[in-house]
Chains A and B, each alone.
Chain A
Amino acid sequence: MAAYRADDDYDYLFKLVLIGDSGVGKSNLLSRFTKNEFNLESKSTIGVEFATRSIRVDDKVVKAQIWDTAGQERYRAITSAYYRGAVGALLVYDVTRHITFENVERWLKELRDHTDSNIVIMLVGNKADLRHLRAVSTEEAKAFAEREKTYFMETSALESLNVENAFTEVLTQIYHVVSRKALEVGDDPAALPKGQTINVGKDDVSALKKIGCCSA
């Protein structure tokens, strides 16, 4: 399942997935990014949800098709099918619940088992507004992200903190990989046909990851 046809104008179409334990705030991160909404009375996600948003990177329009997945382990039977063809992932944990951070390792494995090895991954510590309840330190998460070569950011969907940055960073990194790759083969990146899945080149991403994470 790659990215699907979209009808409006864009230069690039990237498929992203939102994964992580149940109740860490995936759906609210998505609604904050795509609709600038936060819902205190949100229901738990059953199955998958979907939303899109386009942003500008350099002078290009980059469109994200984002799949938000149910977090409970049992649902992976359905949701793992949605990892296929994803070029970016936001792996979310809740900074107030350490167990959700501990489970990140399993999510990473799940992700790497089901996606191209070059997928751009952002580790996201959500609910950073709950300062007095924090159970996962920034340093701990940062160290983990460096070890695992993923990007890292702390966010608050409630306070609209870093949400834009987290998604934009993932999309920008994918864009850089793709446009550089296209340049290398002497192609005009803008000439890529609409709706075609962008496969991120292997070498490019490892090069890119050495630049480091935590641009926040």
Chain B
Amino acid sequence: MDRSRGINDYEPGPVPSESRVDRYGFIKQNVSNSSAAEGLGKSREARRVRKWRKMIGVGGSDWKHYVRRKPHVVKRRIRKGIPDCLRGLVWQLISGSRDLLLMNPGVYEQLVIYETSASELDIIRDISRTFPTHVFFQQRHGPGQRSLYNVLKAYSVFDRAVGYVQGMGFLAGLLLLYMSEEDAFWLLVALLKGAVHAPMEGLYQVGLPLVQQYLFQFEHLVREHLPKLGEHFNREMINPSMYASQWFITVFSYSFPFPLALRIWDVFLFEGVKIVFKVGLALLKYCHDDLINLSFEKLIHALRNFPEDAMNPDILLPMAYSIK
């Protein structure tokens, strides 16, 4: 495989060859890549894709009809994970962003080309600090970085009260791996403005009101669902802002393994923010017996470095779904 040297000579790190990249495009950190999706048999995966294609119809034409007729089937299938090759399309269908795009032709282009944003420098500074280990975003001024910049700038103009806030880049970056700039922009709009579910913009507005609310609620849920651990956290003076802010602000896309983040996003887009709470609780539940014996400093560390088996979507997600 050719290495696109040249522009990259400027970068201090070595340019990875294709084989060192996992199926999602991230530079492999170590060779332990037995993610659930990769374990799926080829024929099984093909069968799944066929089922999904039928459900969606050409370009999404049958989707709404299908969801109305069989919402439970859709929910169950999404919880099992959307096939990677259809993910971008399905995300747009379930988030309502498709409709926004169709209702606002030319708007994105206008925002990108003709408007200026007060956040431009802030955005630029964070571009290379967003998914820095993903091939698409690694190349300085490459297509990935440019798209990321455009989407974030467009949003900061579209909603000047929110502007640009650190963390939004991870949302936009994740979306850009599955769809075009314009599609990613409208999906961001759908999420922040609440096209289908509760608007997320409060996560980023001045004072971060929704972050504060979610952290408060999460603390109470921990006490309710895991009383012993809640008590232990209380004794050790651990509060959710020490470990969970990024869970909410980036919907697990900041530091969680990508296969897990994607599966969470599948459900998040269809069912809403509840899944973020549930996954958070499931993580604590899974590690409960370890966490309960740790003191403050080790707790902080453990809450930011969950064991690999806890990060397996096929173990963690069923646990999350079972939390009511």
Contact = CB atoms under 8 A, between A and B. Distances in A.
Nearest to A71: B166
Contacts of A4: 236-237, 296-297
Interface of B: 12-13, 122, 125-126, 129-133, 165-167, 169, 204, 206-208, 211-212, 236-237, 241-242, 245-246, 249-250, 254-255, 295-298, 300
Given A5-B295, A7-B297, A77-B212, 16 more contacts: A5-B237, A6-B297, A22-B125, A22-B126, A40-B13, A41-B132, A43-B132, A46-B249, A46-B250, A47-B246, A48-B245, A50-B297, A75-B166, A75-B208, A77-B208, A78-B211
A77 B215 CA distance: 13
A6 B301 CA distance: 13
A74 B126 contact: no
A74 B296 contact: no
B208 A46 contact: no
Interface in A37-57: 40-48, 50, 52
Contacts, number: 82
A78 B129 contact: no
A4 B132 CA distance: 33
Contact residues of A: prevailing secondary structure: loop
Contacts of A6: 295-297
Nearest to A23: B125
A65 interface: yes
16 contacts: A4-B237, A6-B296, A40-B13, A41-B13, A43-B129, A43-B131, A45-B166, A46-B246, A46-B249, A48-B242, A48-B245, A72-B166, A74-B166, A77-B208, A78-B208, A78-B241
B297 A72 contact: no
B241 A48 contact: yes
A78 B204 CA distance: 12
Interface residues of A, number: 26
A74 B297 contact: no
A195 to B, nearest CB: 9
Contact of A72 (B165, B236, B242, B296): B165
Contacts of A45: 166
Contacts of B237: 1, 4-5
B248 to A, nearest CB: 10
A130 interface: no
A50 B295 CA distance: 14
Contact of A22 (B122, B206, B254): B122
Contacts of A65: 297
Given A23-B125, A46-B245, A74 B132 contact: no
A43 B236 contact: no
Contacts of A190: none
Q: List the 3 shortest-distance A-B pairs measured between CB atoms, nearest first.
A: A47-B245, A41-B132, A4-B296
B212 A72 contact: no
B212 to A, nearest CB: 7
